[in-house]
Amino acid sequence: MNLSKKILHHACKNGILVPALNIPHLPMMTPVVQACVDENSMAFIEVARVEWEKFESESISAVKKAYDAAVADPDTRSFIRLHLDHVPVIDEDNQLVDYQSIIAEAIELGYDSVMVDGSRLSLEDNIKAVRGVVDLAHAAGVPVEAELGAVLGHEDGPPPPYEEVFRQKRGFTVPDEARKFVTESGVDWLSAAFGSVHGAISEAFRDQKKPDARLDLDHLALLVEATGVPIVLHGGSGVLREYLLPAFKNGVAKMNIGTEIRQTYTTALQESGSIKKAQDAVYRRTRELLSDYLDISGSREHFRGLTAE
């Protein structure tokens, strides 16, 4: 079994979170990795298509090169894994994406896991798109993440009112659809919607603070029962801590964190004009998130002995 897949299944079974930290600006790579090393935390480093299209991560090959430099020590490579985050079939601008070519390139480059996002498609079309990626990736021994439901926030323009989204369960993943989706697509873990929101990516709103989000833990329990696979929480930045720890104990094995560290980096860069000071700021913030917000310092110790088969 692929090591990243084994890590998430172990995390899910034992109620341990694996954070997944997004790199929208290449200079963030070294301090984010170093923060994980210094906190002795199991972690995924990841990049989404939007982050090289609309931010400054440049390309999946540039991210892989920066990652390889940051995890040159083989021991570090064993507990800080590289994931390809959101590669949409239809993007936030409603444009078709050549998603299979992007994912094939990532697999060839050596990414440890990949994600295809068909959440803007119908259920049947989403299953079909994901099944094609699963066949491609599994042939290379690479696990696949996919999304069902709609974790809102990547739309153009202002984010929708959060309380309205939560009250109406707008975009929430439907458990019966999730059961069908996982069974027919063969996906290894599932990004599901049950209360979190992505950070805005449009120019006018990307620097705004995210709302304090909640999680519908009863809805999460239904999704876990329906799917039997690790659940991924996208839009992790800004979720109230009181909702996180129960979620980690009950099926959420991976949580994506992007906005929190991106805004830390860009704010420090704007204020100081110094990449080094911005790197120092994101290093400190990442350590705070791992130790204080998530309480997972030392989590690597729970995964020692896991190896790829």
**pLDDT score, position 211:** 65
Q: How far apart are CA 198 and CA 32, in angstroms?
A: 20
Mean predicted confidence (pLDDT) in 103-109: 98
Q: What is the pTM (predicted TM-score) of this model?
A: 0.91
Q: Which residue has the tokens 């897949």?
A: 5
pLDDT tens, position by position, 202-256: 443 355 665 678 899 999 999 999 999 999 998 877 788 899 989 999 999 999 9
Residue type, 109: L
**pLDDT score, position 203:** 47
**pLDDT score, position 162:** 73
Phi, psi (rounded to 5 degrees) for 23? -120, 85
Please determine, for residue 288, whether its predicted confidence score (pLDDT) is greater than 90. yes
Please determine, for residue 129, whether its predicted confidence score (pLDDT) is greater than 80. yes
- Annotated catalytic residue within 85, 112, 188, 216: 85
**pLDDT score, position 201:** 42
- Catalytic residue status for 85: yes
**pLDDT score, position 199:** 53
Greater pLDDT, 19 or 234: 19
**pLDDT score, position 157:** 59
Identify the architecture of domain 3-300 in CATH: Alpha-Beta Barrel (3.20)
In the chain, what are the domain boundaries?
A: 3-300
Tokens of 146: 């996919």
Please determine, for residue 165, whether its predicted confidence score (pLDDT) is greater than 90. no
18 sits in which H/E element: strand 18-22
**Among positive and negative, which fits the CA dihedral 212, 217, 219, 220?**
positive
Tokens of 40: 């002795």
pLDDT tens, position by position, 139-161: 999 999 999 987 665 555 566 67
Q: How far apart are CA 49 and CA 60, in angstroms?
A: 8
How many C-beta atoms lie closer than 10 Å to residue 150's C-beta?
18
Give the rounded percent of residues in the chain with a pLDDT score beyond 70. 92
Average pLDDT value over all residues in the chain: 91
How many C-beta atoms lie closer than 10 Å to residue 37's C-beta?
18
Confidence of residue 309 (pLDDT cuts 50, 70, 90): low
pLDDT tens, position by position, 40-99: 999 999 999 999 999 999 999 999 999 999 999 988 998 999 999 999 999 988 999 999
pLDDT tens, position by position, 2-15: 999 999 999 999 99
**pLDDT score, position 170:** 76
Tokens of 128: 């079909």
Closest CA to 238 of 191, 282, 179, 196: 196
Give the rounded percent of residues in the chain with a pLDDT score beyond 90. 77
Asked if residues 162 and 134 have their Cβ atoms less than 8 Å apart, the reply is no
* DSSP symbols for 97-150: --HHHHHHHHHHHT-SEEEEB-TTS-HHHHHHHHHHHHHHHHHTT--EEEEES-
**pLDDT score, position 85:** 97
Tokens of 264: 């830390």
Asked if residues 282 and 268 have their Cβ atoms less than 8 Å apart, the reply is yes
**pLDDT score, position 180:** 98
Please determine, for residue 195, whether its predicted confidence score (pLDDT) is greater than 90. no
Tokens of 211: 């709302």
CA distances from 255 to 49, 56, 141, 178, 212 (A): 18, 22, 23, 19, 16
